[in-house]
Structure 1
């Protein structure tokens, strides 16, 4: 896990190809000291990494990002305003590849939409 200490999984619900995971974000994590002092914002690359780590946890294997399409950052994720993040994912597995279509939301609304492809490593 690259994001050690950044978040905790509160709950995960799996139903077929659908996964919904609730995360509690650590607003005091080191990342926020540089991004940005006095106005913490979760970096977009970190939001993308959350989906990868969640897929790794669900499938219990390491994954490598092959491609990310239609990555859309919709709003700012400020952990001091709302430290809960919900990841909704549609995940399909085909051989050594895992395709994920996801949306990250907080109480304000949609934060990120992503379509990604991972290879099991």
Structure 2
């Protein structure tokens, strides 16, 4: 896990090709000390990494991002306002690849939409 200490999983529900995971984000994590002091904002690349780590956990395999399409950051995720983040993913395994279509949400709405492709290592 690259994001050691950044979050804890509160709940995961997997049904067919869908997974919904609720994360509790650590608002005191080192990332927020530089991004940005006094106004913490979760970096977009960190939000993308959360989906990769969750797919690795669900499939119990190491993955490498091959492609990310239609990545849309629709809102700022500030953990001091709401420290819960929900990852809603649709995952499809095809041979040596895993396709993911996902949305990251908090109580205010969608924070990130992503379509990504990972290679199984």
Q: Structure 2-normalised TM-score?
A: 1.00
Matches within 5 A, 1:66-81: 66-81=66-81
Match of 1:97 in 2: 97
Gap runs ≥5 in structure 2: none
Match of 1:33 in 2: 33
Once residues 8 and 119 of structure 2 are traced to their aligned partners in structure 1, the CA distance between those partners, rounded to angstroms, is: 25
Once residues 118 and 31 of structure 2 are traced to their aligned partners in structure 1, the CA distance between those partners, rounded to angstroms, is: 25
Match of 1:118 in 2: 118
Asked if 1:82 corresponds to 2:106, the answer is no
- Taking only aligned residues, the RMSD between alpha carbons, in angstroms, comes to 0.3
Once residues 96 and 3 of structure 2 are traced to their aligned partners in structure 1, the CA distance between those partners, rounded to angstroms, is: 24
Question: Cα deviations across residues 55-107 of structure 1 (Å, max 9, x unaligned)?
Answer: 00000010000000000000000000000000000000001100000000001
Once residues 48 and 104 of structure 2 are traced to their aligned partners in structure 1, the CA distance between those partners, rounded to angstroms, is: 9
Once residues 10 and 98 of structure 1 are traced to their aligned partners in structure 2, the CA distance between those partners, rounded to angstroms, is: 24
Once residues 70 and 49 of structure 2 are traced to their aligned partners in structure 1, the CA distance between those partners, rounded to angstroms, is: 15
Number of residue pairs matched by the alignment: 121
Gap runs ≥5 in structure 1: none
Once residues 73 and 65 of structure 2 are traced to their aligned partners in structure 1, the CA distance between those partners, rounded to angstroms, is: 18
Aligned-partner SS, 2:48: helix
Q: Structure 1-normalised TM-score?
A: 1.00
Runs of at least 4 residues of structure 1 off by over 4 A?
A: none
